[in-house]
Amino acid sequence: MATLTARRLTDTVGAELVDVDAHRLLHDDDLPHECMEALERYGVLLLRGLPIDDDLQVEFCRRLGEVVQFPKYENPNVMEISFDPTNPNVSYFPSNDHWHFDGSMDDIPAKAVTLSARVLASDGGETEFASTYAAYDALSDDEKESFAELRVLHTFEAIQRRSYPNPTPEQLEDWASWPQREHPLVWEHRSGRRSLVFGHSASHILGMGFDEGRALLDDLSRRATAPDRVLRHEWQVGDLVIWDNLGLLHRACPFDRTEARRMHRTTLAGDEPITSARSITVGA
């Protein structure tokens, strides 16, 4: 079938696929390869006006790779993102408001994530994306060299405390039960590209004074997520967005959580562990 036609959404991240309908999602034999190539290039892909339901979303994802299971949900292929009190993960979803990538405490993070809008908030509730590839590329040569050996501890508590600054003993016990993960600040991917590994699950930089390390992480976050480097997606029902979880941060924008905003997420399992960039060549 015809190759994909993409329209850039910002200079640093995101493109809309303007010629993909539901039939192509399910039946174009060339689409999975072309879609993953476009994802590598643009970081975020937007498809509009689809008759999206869980079956279509999951079947499309299965054409791209292995689908992660969420056993707490009625359909384990789909995580419902909502503040419905019956949602099994509702207490954790406030952290979605903070810059993060999915699976920062996993052995291997998710490869990519799809999200579709089912019920919208009357105001707000957009999703923002920022490229951590672009964040690395924007570093000076001296920064690339000095950051090459830095390692960062990621914890569940670090991101949850941003939503719950005065946690209960039960919350602290729960957060402590999650694994901690040590990651390099600079990730050299199989493709040869490099990205920064940070976000609000990053607690501190190992071997550096806590305040000094936090100042560096906060500075990198401010630079990477400056307004001119962010794609802010305003949802419409029928939108399907897929993003490269290995090279992006994302967050939800504020909205009235008493409203029934509902998003459906399907996740592609990762197959690439986070590895250090062992050597940095100045000027690379």
Cα–Cα distance, 144 to 84 (Å, whole number): 44
pLDDT tens, N- to C-terminus, the chain (284 residues): 568 899 999 999 999 999 899 999 999 999 999 999 999 999 999 999 999 999 999 999 999 999 999 999 999 999 999 999 999 999 999 999 999 999 898 889 999 999 999 999 999 999 999 999 999 999 999 999 999 999 999 999 999 999 999 999 999 999 999 999 999 999 999 999 999 999 999 999 999 999 999 999 999 999 999 999 999 999 999 999 999 999 999 999 999 999 999 999 999 999 999 987 654 444 44
Q: DSSP secondary-structure letter at 88?
A: T
**Are 76 and 211 spatial neighbours (Cβ–Cβ below 8 Å)?**
no
pTM of the model: 0.93
Using an 8 Å Cβ cutoff, are 78 and 57 in contact? yes
Residue 76's Cβ-side half-sphere holds a number of Cα atoms within 13 Å equal to 6
Q: In what order do the strands lie in the sheet with 79-81?
A: 6-8, 15-17, 44-47, 240-244, 112-119, 262-268, 79-81
195 Rama sector, left if φ>0, alpha if ψ -120 to 50, beta otherwise: beta
C-alpha to C-alpha distance for 121 and 81, rounded to whole angstroms = 13
Asked if residue 253 lies in contact with residue 94, where contact means CB atoms within 8 angstroms, the answer is no
